[in-house]
Amino acid sequence: MARLNDVVLIGRKMDGEMEPKIVNKRFTDGETANVVLNFRMKTYDEETQRFITLPIAVWGEALVEQCLLHLKKNDLICVKGELRYKFIYNRLTKQTERIYTTVKATNIEFLSKKMKSQNLHYYVNKIRLVGNLVEEPIQTENGFTLAVDRTYPTKDISAPNSELTDFVTLVIDDKSVLRGSLTKGSPVIIDGKLMTRKKRMDMIEPRIVVSVKEMVGV
């Protein structure tokens, strides 16, 4: 399957003190144990006129160290990365029941330091995906699902890369953004933005979804 999972966000870092964690290999989808730093950032959506809070995960010792040295609360930053998902254990139901989506940062630009201004109000929220539709693209409250492949290196010489799949929830507000052949299993190209959807049954965090601006079946 063709693969593209590209996120660009400009917004402000929300949390105060940050505590890095060592993540065991069994929680890294086959990748080696690594250090991870989690924080939240907010970006503003002009269309809905509201702030959106998104979770960011920084992996790797070098980038984590940069963030600990330079990143402060309310700093303006540009995050480039990709969507990742994992299941969350609900303590009330005692079941693993919901997909929680986060942005894995591959690069962070510290804009507040470079622009020498804490007063710049500028936000970006863009995402591009290439994947296959798991469900029919229908306008519903729950949205529909896209499967996006991801590769990671292995120690097997005969098969240097292994493949995983991330599942992303998509929502559409206007059917006119849908073009081409769009049925279950269809490969599609998507332009959109990240949004949050809060439902009464979501006990942990608001759901993070992709609001589709354009979807083309290929």
Name the 3-class secondary structure at 69.
Answer: helix
Residue 130 has pLDDT above 70, yes or no: yes
pTM value is 0.83
Residue 204 has pLDDT above 70, yes or no: no
Q: Assess contact for 45 and 193: CB atoms under 8 A.
A: yes
For strand 4-13 and strand 76-90, is the pairing parallel, antiparallel, or unpaired? antiparallel
Looking at residue 4, its amino acid is L
User: Looking at residues 144-173, what average pLDDT do you find?
Assistant: 75
210-213, long-range: CB within 8 Å, 24+ apart, which pairs? 210/83, 210/127, 210/129, 210/146, 210/168, 210/169, 210/170, 210/171, 211/171, 211/172, 211/173, 212/170, 212/171, 212/172, 212/177, 212/178, 213/177
What does the pLDDT read at residue 160? 47
- Interacting residues of 5 by C-beta distance below 8 A, sequence separation 6+: 82, 83, 128, 129, 130, 131, 148, 150, 166
Give the CA diameter of the chain.
Answer: 53
C-alpha separations of 203 from 38, 39, 98, 157 in Å: 20, 19, 10, 44
User: Looking at residues 95-113, what average pLDDT do you find?
Assistant: 85
What does the pLDDT read at residue 7? 96
User: Looking at residues 80-103, what average pLDDT do you find?
Assistant: 81
Question: How does pLDDT run across 132-144, given as a tens digit for each residue?
Answer: 999 988 888 788 9
Measured CA to CA, the distance from residue 39 to residue 77 in angstroms comes to: 12
In whole numbers, what is the pLDDT of the chain averaged over residues? 83
Segment (H or E) for 62:
helix 61-70
